[in-house]
Amino acid sequence: MKRKNFRKGHSAFVFRHFACKRWSLFAVMGQEVKVGVLSVATLAVAAAAQASAAQQAGKMGSAATSTPSDSTALADDAVALGEAAVVAQHAPLPAEMAARLVTCFTRNDIAAAGARTINDIVKLCAAVDVRQRGPHGVQTDISVGGGTFDQVTILLNGINITSPHTGHLTADFPLSADDIERVEVLEGAAARSCGTTAFTGVINIVTRQERRGVLLQAAGGMYGYADAGARLSGAIGRAVGHLSGGFSRSDGATDNSAFQSARVFCQGSIATRSGAKIDAQLGYSFKPFEANTFYGSASRDQWESNERWMGALRLNATAGRLHILPSVSWNRWYDHYQWHKGSPAGENFHRADTYALGIDNWLEWATGRTAFGAEMRHEGILSTKLGDPLEESEWEPVGGRSHTTGGTGIEADAPRYYKFAAGRTNFSAHLEHNLILDHWTLSAGVLANMNTALDSHWRFYPGVDAAWHSGTGWAVYASWNMGLRMPTFTDLYYSGTGIEGTRSLKPERTNDVSLKGAYAAGAFAADAGVFYSHKTDMIDWVVYADEALAPDGSPLPAAEWTYRSGNYTMEHYGIRLQAAFHPQRLWGNAFPLRKVAVQYAWTDQSISRSRAIVASKYAMEIVRQKWVVTADATLFRRHAPQHRRHADWRSGRMALALSYRWSDRTGSGNESYGLLDARLTWEGRRFSLYADADNVLNASYHDFSYIPQPGIWLTGGMTLKF
């Protein structure tokens, strides 16, 4: 914004862009504020921009003004202006000027879908493959755009929380759906904006930021399921804080699948008088669970516990036109695994840590916005299995909440020690410029990267995004980006019965091109896109054909195969189609149907290997086709009597939300399946009651060919708000 003389003795602030930062308007209190001219086109995208407010400026945001999963309003009549910190760009831009399309699930979408975990949210995106071993977020592999679970970057309020140990642990969150404001999904490589771990896509989770309020919730259902949680928000002056926690458990819907889960999350921010803002977040979760045949069909009594800590601190400050955003973060994972529950045979302990120190800067000047910055990220692991052997004097006692007991609670006979370790440090620097014209946004940049696990050479990963916005609802997006992914410590070092890591693995590389078109106007929104990528040195766990033979040349039985991690080359391509219709925008809130949306994704690949294989664990088991159809409607609405000051329990709204997902997965033993989920809600002023039915049609299905998933699962609960 810029100060101008308004009349004698007064001054006014002219806003050139509209920022939803909480301190923006407070910074000009006592001044006359002049808001510039708003065109009809600007107001048309205003509601969609609500979900894109820059709560973590310069790092992550949403440009989903034309994606069908974007509710475009947090309330039926909400209209707000926002400046989006787009995931594909370091410098925040107004949503209508974004250079890359991002799918956004808003608070309305989350509530309507009856999502209880983050996994429940992202499975409603056709481009995301949510492959669960256990329900309710027990153990889930999340991948984007036909990639694997190790190739996606997960951000929490813009902070990277991806595990270098294994992608199996990345989807463990210290959050519930009640903590989430929105979830953003970006397809394709995004190395120059989110680092080298952003290989096939990025998922950013943005938490809620109320200034005050108390939320209590409790739920229960079939198979001994119970869940309880609370959330407290408060503000003192310029400081705002949030604390949430909860516990859930179940006896399990299938054999050996009981679980418990505890979580705590704390977040706070403070705005200084100078306009700077400091954000902090701290989270903890602990989840012991029975693991059925999660990691191999030869054992049906596996057990595991995952424990994690996370913390981050970030500053958002300005010096003239220069925006400065330094950050520091830490993540720790404890993993305790037993091949047979309560037995030391096949038992593993791991502790993985990441430490990151970075700074993002961006400068606004006549030709657009230029962003530059750097990051140092160290990744390390201590383990009873993974890494290089330590000298006995370097051994460290095994840590974590479950380190002294097994799945049965039996005390260990002797102390356990981490006897192996590995580590690497990643250095990166980025430079990006965003050129903003009347209807065009051009974003070009490069990431320079050096990893100590490779060599001392710097490698460069450029990218270019271009977008044309008509101003009348039409937009076209084109992107070319390169990316790199280092192998996980599991890829490199894991060994056991029938499985063997490869220390000489090369890092994965990708070269992505995509083209998308979008339209949004009034009650209708749609987009369609195609993508192609050439990927080299991809990592998969496979059985080589020459190792599947006995010495006499006869085939070995599958139980005697050994899966090894190895590299290969792949051509990857697909299409995405989405459309949504919001009838209430045409006919008002009295019309019962609020939204109906349809998504379709088709993905294919061509793989080249230097050695023939007979089986693959992950890369050859992609979701070839996926349909997602969602709808929600108001069945009944009762208003409070006019003579009553406050609404009572009889006033509110009854709503029904349905979602249907059909998936067709490649690979042996993977049959296509369709799942119908439903939620019935009574929403009052201070409370809500709900009943959920997962897998309404009681379909028999497997996300992994040998791990059966539950049939119909009925739950119900209530939420109180103060």
Q: What is the pLDDT of residues 83-129, one digit of tens each?
A: 444 455 677 776 677 788 888 888 888 887 778 888 888 888 999 99
Q: Examine the domain organization and report whether 279 and 249 are in the same domain.
A: yes
Q: What is the pLDDT of residues 252-295, one digit of tens each?
A: 999 899 999 999 999 999 999 888 999 999 999 999 999 988 88
Q: Examine the domain organization and report whether 6 and 74 are in the same domain.
A: no
Greater pLDDT, 708 or 395: 395
**In this predicted structure, what is the pLDDT of residue 11?**
38
The CA distance from 40 to 623, in Å, is 41
Handedness of CA 391, 393, 398, 404 (dihedral sign): positive
Q: Do residues 110 and 116 lie in contact, with contact meaning Cβ atoms separated by under 8 Å?
A: no
pTM: 0.86
Q: Do residues 520 and 473 lie in contact, with contact meaning Cβ atoms separated by under 8 Å?
A: yes
Q: Examine the domain organization and report whether 553 and 611 are in the same domain.
A: yes
Of 58, 148, 71, nearest in space to 103 by CA: 71
Q: What average pLDDT does this structure show over 221-228?
A: 96
Give the position of tokens 């509209």.
18
The CA distance from 626 to 577, in Å, is 11
Token pair of 546 as six digits: 């020459």
The CA distance from 132 to 643, in Å, is 51
How many separate domains does the chain show?
2
Q: Judging by DSSP bridges, how do beta strands 201-207 and 152-156 pair with one another?
A: parallel
**In this predicted structure, what is the pLDDT of residue 621?**
85
The CA distance from 38 to 653, in Å, is 34
> Residues of the chain with pLDDT > 90: what percent?
59
Whether the pLDDT of residue 643 is over 70: the answer is no
Angle at the Cα of 159 from the Cα atoms of 107 and 464, rounded to 5 degrees: 90
Mean pLDDT of the chain, nearest integer: 83
Q: Examine the domain organization and report whether 295 and 236 are in the same domain.
A: yes
The CA distance from 382 to 350, in Å, is 6
Whether the pLDDT of residue 2 is over 70: the answer is no
Greater pLDDT, 145 or 414: 145
Q: Examine the domain organization and report whether 474 and 571 are in the same domain.
A: yes
Q: Examine the domain organization and report whether 56 and 27 are in the same domain.
A: no
Q: Name which of 364-368, 422-426, 475-479 the model is least confident about.
A: 364-368
Of 453, 435, 373, nearest in space to 193 by CA: 373
**In this predicted structure, what is the pLDDT of residue 649?**
56
Q: Examine the domain organization and report whether 306 and 386 are in the same domain.
A: yes
Of 593, 473, 432, 542, nearest in space to 86 by CA: 432
Q: What is the pLDDT of residues 533-570, one digit of tens each?
A: 999 999 999 999 999 999 998 999 988 899 999 999 99
Greater pLDDT, 120 or 16: 120
Q: Examine the domain organization and report whether 58 and 115 are in the same domain.
A: yes
**In this predicted structure, what is the pLDDT of residue 35?**
34
* 412 pLDDT tier (thresholds 50, 70, 90): low
Residue 92 sits in a domain whose CATH number is 2.40.170.20
Q: Do residues 125 and 240 lie in contact, with contact meaning Cβ atoms separated by under 8 Å?
A: no
Q: What is the pLDDT of residues 329-370, one digit of tens each?
A: 999 999 999 999 988 888 999 999 999 999 999 998 888 899
Q: Examine the domain organization and report whether 26 and 53 are in the same domain.
A: no
Q: What average pLDDT does this structure show over 293-302?
A: 85
Q: Name which of 47-56, 146-155, 708-717 the model is least confident about.
A: 47-56
Whether the pLDDT of residue 651 is over 90: the answer is no
Q: Given its phi and psi angles, is residue 46 left (phi above 0), alpha (psi -120 to 50 degrees) or beta?
A: alpha
The CA distance from 575 to 516, in Å, is 9
Q: What average pLDDT does this structure show over 174-181?
A: 90
**In this predicted structure, what is the pLDDT of residue 46?**
31
* 662 pLDDT tier (thresholds 50, 70, 90): very high
Q: Examine the domain organization and report whether 50 and 32 are in the same domain.
A: no
Complete DSSP assignment for 254-302: STT--EEEEEEEEEEEEE-TTS-EEEEEEEEEEEEEEEETTT-TT-S-E
Q: Examine the domain organization and report whether 23 and 90 are in the same domain.
A: no
Q: What is the DSSP letter of 706?
A: T
Q: Examine the domain organization and report whether 310 and 249 are in the same domain.
A: yes
**In this predicted structure, what is the pLDDT of residue 381?**
97
Domain span at residue 24 reads: 2-37
**In this predicted structure, what is the pLDDT of residue 345?**
82
Q: What average pLDDT does this structure show over 4-23?
A: 37
**φ and ψ of 529, to 5 deg:** -155, 160
Of 69, 97, 71, 72, nearest in space to 83 by CA: 97
**In this predicted structure, what is the pLDDT of residue 80?**
30
Q: Name which of 33-42, 153-162, 223-232, 584-593 the model is least confident about.
A: 33-42
The CA distance from 509 to 534, in Å, is 8
Whether the pLDDT of residue 22 is over 50: the answer is no
